[in-house]
């Protein structure tokens, strides 16, 4: 681990200097925070685009002449292509400058939004959404490795926190913003609204990102080979159970709040906003704690989330207690990716791109499984069974996180 850290530190300083050779008065290279923020903007646009259809399914289905179920596949297809790109993208682009590759994924995002906006039929819509999946999988899988090259090693958690802050904000406002814009501009106008932001992110990245040529010490492009390493396999198991549990519960939060807690639409929107704001705060707080308490935090997050899930089962009829629990959920759930991104940067410093691809594929698969199985339980046995299922998965994530910490220390 010491030798890996030294190797990683060497190329980080070289890449930062490539941004313009700026150094502080102490001679330490200055981190390229402008480039990191430009990536955070792109992340926000990616996530907003991914979840925009949630509140626009009805008008999309009506205009294109399909059922709402078929229109809903616009979300599924982006997830499928995100998994495929995250698994195979690193190997296909390993000989290219990472600045060019990242800009290409941002350009694909612009093209996707434009195709969806002017889609004349269902097939065109699905092509646009498939391109969005390619942008999501490619951009996310490379994000950790590029942040590692833009900032000093001690600032990596802060850089990842900035990225996930954009994620938290976009995930919170995507559905209500889509509904609002759709009511004034139509669903096509709502999708087109993100295109100028995507263009801004693209231009900003091109200006602020240094040249990032492929590293000579880059590890294997085979993401599955990484699973042969015990710490990686255990860590990915924890990530899988964490995101399955998170989205098994979060996907069905609205019907729970409407039927069990009996909140109004305005209160529901306020709760979702507070969860998002708590998520932004969580990413900021956790970035300061990860340097010395990484595995403690990785284990504590799913365990506390499991307690919150059980608390919602016990006290879901109380709007006050439910609000407090959901704010806690937002605080922790958005902080989790920052922690596991930091884990990836320390565990696989020379395989960060392949590791990032494996992590993104694991997360996308976990989200799909968690939401699907949670839905079956929700319809078959009631909302409480879904929440209990989430709690069990989160406890499993806690146990694997503990095991990952012990395995890494050996």
Residue 204 shares a structural domain with residue 108: yes
Residue 149 shares a structural domain with residue 71: yes
Mean pLDDT of all residues belonging to the chain? 81
The residue from 186, 211, 236 where one domain ends is: 211
How do residues 263-286 score in pLDDT, each as one tens digit?
A: 887 787 788 778 878 887 888 788
CA 302 to CA 184: how far, in whole Å? Answer: 40
CATH number at residue 64: 1.20.1250.20
How do residues 209-244 score in pLDDT, each as one tens digit?
A: 888 887 655 555 567 788 888 889 999 999 999 999
Q: Which domain holds residue 98?
A: 9-211
State residue 215's pLDDT score: 66
Residue 239 shares a structural domain with residue 194: no
CA 45 to CA 139: how far, in whole Å? Answer: 12
Helix (H) or strand (E) holding 112: helix 98-117
Written as six digits, the tokens of 79 are 């997830």
State residue 26's pLDDT score: 35
How do residues 162-195 score in pLDDT, each as one tens digit?
A: 887 777 677 667 766 776 777 788 889 988 988 9
Q: Kindly state whether residue 144 falls inside one of the protein's structural domains.
A: yes
Residue 267 shares a structural domain with residue 384: yes
State residue 322's pLDDT score: 94
Residue for token pair 């492929």: 214
Q: Kindly state whether residue 155 falls inside one of the protein's structural domains.
A: yes
Q: Kindly state whether residue 217 falls inside one of the protein's structural domains.
A: no
Q: Kindly state whether residue 216 falls inside one of the protein's structural domains.
A: no
Cβ–Cβ under 8 Å, residues 98 and 212: yes
Strand partners, 23: 29
Residue 45 shares a structural domain with residue 136: yes
| Closest alpha carbon to 105 in 248, 202, 8, 218 | 202
Residue 240 shares a structural domain with residue 299: yes
Residue 261 shares a structural domain with residue 199: no
Highest mean pLDDT among 119-128, 207-216, 255-264, 351-360: 119-128
The residue from 150, 181, 211 where one domain ends is: 211
Residue 336 shares a structural domain with residue 271: yes
Residue 167 shares a structural domain with residue 29: yes
CA 404 to CA 408: how far, in whole Å? Answer: 6
pTM for the predicted model, two decimal places: 0.74
Residue 381 shares a structural domain with residue 248: yes
Q: Kindly state whether residue 2 falls inside one of the protein's structural domains.
A: no
Q: How many angstroms separate the Cα of 374 from the Cα of each of 7, 251, 316, 386?
A: 43, 8, 18, 5
Cβ–Cβ under 8 Å, residues 389 and 373: yes
CA 141 to CA 355: how far, in whole Å? Answer: 8
CA 311 to CA 225: how far, in whole Å? Answer: 40
Residue 250 shares a structural domain with residue 201: no
State residue 31's pLDDT score: 62
* Count of the separate structural domains present in the chain: 2
| Closest alpha carbon to 16 in 146, 106, 164 | 146
Cβ–Cβ under 8 Å, residues 281 and 275: no
Q: Kindly state whether residue 4 falls inside one of the protein's structural domains.
A: no
Q: Give Cβ neighbours of residue 327 (< 8 Å, ≥ 6 apart).
A: 274, 275, 278
CA 395 to CA 308: how far, in whole Å? Answer: 12
- DSSP 8-state class, residue 251: T
**161 vs 328, residue with greater confidence:** 328
Strand partners, 29: 23
For the beta carbon of residue 204, count every other beta carbon within 10 angstroms.
18
CA 160 to CA 345: how far, in whole Å? Answer: 10
Residue 263 shares a structural domain with residue 297: yes
CA 68 to CA 76: how far, in whole Å? Answer: 13
Q: Kindly state whether residue 105 falls inside one of the protein's structural domains.
A: yes
CA 116 to CA 123: how far, in whole Å? Answer: 10
The residue from 156, 191, 211 where one domain ends is: 211
CA 204 to CA 388: how far, in whole Å? Answer: 44
**239-268 exposure pattern, b = at least 16 Cβ within 10 A, e = fewer:** bbbbbbbbbbbbbbbbebbeebbebeeeeb
DSSP 156-171: HHHHHHHHHHHHHHHH
Q: Kindly state whether residue 1 falls inside one of the protein's structural domains.
A: no
Cβ–Cβ under 8 Å, residues 395 and 306: yes
Helices assigned H by DSSP within 118-227: 122-150, 156-192, 194-208
State residue 328's pLDDT score: 94
Q: Give Cβ neighbours of residue 74 (< 8 Å, ≥ 6 apart).
A: 53, 60, 125, 126, 129
């Amino acid at each position: 681990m010491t030798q890996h850290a030294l190797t990683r530190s060497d190329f980080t300083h070289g890449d930062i200097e490539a941004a313009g050779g700026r150094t502080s008065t102490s001679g330490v290279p200055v981190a390229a925070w402008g480039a990191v923020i430009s990536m955070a903007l792109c992340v926000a646009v990616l996530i907003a685009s991914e979840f925009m259809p949630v509140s626009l399914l009805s008008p999309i289905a009506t205009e294109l002449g399909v059922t709402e179920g078929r229109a809903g596949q616009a979300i599924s297809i982006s997830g499928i292509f995100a998994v495929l790109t995250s698994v195979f993208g690193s190997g296909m682009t390993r000989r290219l400058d990472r600045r060019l590759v990242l800009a290409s994924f941002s350009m694909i995002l612009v093209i996707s939004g434009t195709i969806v906006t002017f889609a004349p039929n269902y097939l065109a819509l699905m092509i646009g959404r498939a391109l969005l999946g390619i942008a999501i999988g490619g951009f996310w899988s490379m994000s950790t490795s590029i942040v590692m090259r833009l900032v000093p090693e001690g600032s990596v958690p802060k850089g990842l926190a900035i990225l996930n802050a954009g994620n938290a904000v976009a995930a919170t406002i995507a559905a209500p913003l889509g509904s609002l814009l759709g009511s004034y501009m139509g669903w096509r106008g709502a999708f087109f609204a993100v295109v100028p932001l995507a263009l801004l992110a693209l231009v900003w990245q091109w200006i602020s990102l240094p040249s990032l040529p492929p590293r000579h010490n880059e590890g294997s492009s085979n993401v599955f080979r990484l699973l042969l390493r015990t710490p990686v396999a255990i860590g990915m198991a924890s990530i899988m159970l964490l995101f399955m549990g998170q989205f098994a519960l979060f996907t069905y939060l609205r019907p729970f709040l409407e039927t069990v807690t009996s909140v109004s639409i305005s209160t529901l929107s306020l709760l979702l906003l507070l969860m998002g704001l708590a998520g932004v705060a969580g990413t900021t707080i956790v970035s300061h704690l990860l340097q010395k308490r990484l595995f403690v935090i990785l284990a504590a997050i799913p365990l506390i989330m499991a307690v919150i899930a059980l608390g919602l089962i016990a006290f879901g009829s109380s709007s006050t207690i439910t609000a407090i629990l959901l704010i806690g959920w937002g605080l922790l759930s958005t902080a989790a990716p920052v922690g596991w991104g930091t884990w990836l940067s320390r565990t696989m410093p020379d395989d960060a791109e392949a590791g990032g691809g494996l992590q993104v594929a694991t997360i996308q698969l976990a989200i799909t499984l968690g939401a699907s199985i949670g839905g079956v339980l929700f319809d078959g046995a009631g909302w409480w069974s879904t929440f209990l299922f989430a709690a069990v998965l989160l406890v499993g994530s806690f146990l694997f996180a503990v095991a990952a910490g012990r395995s890494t220390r050996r």
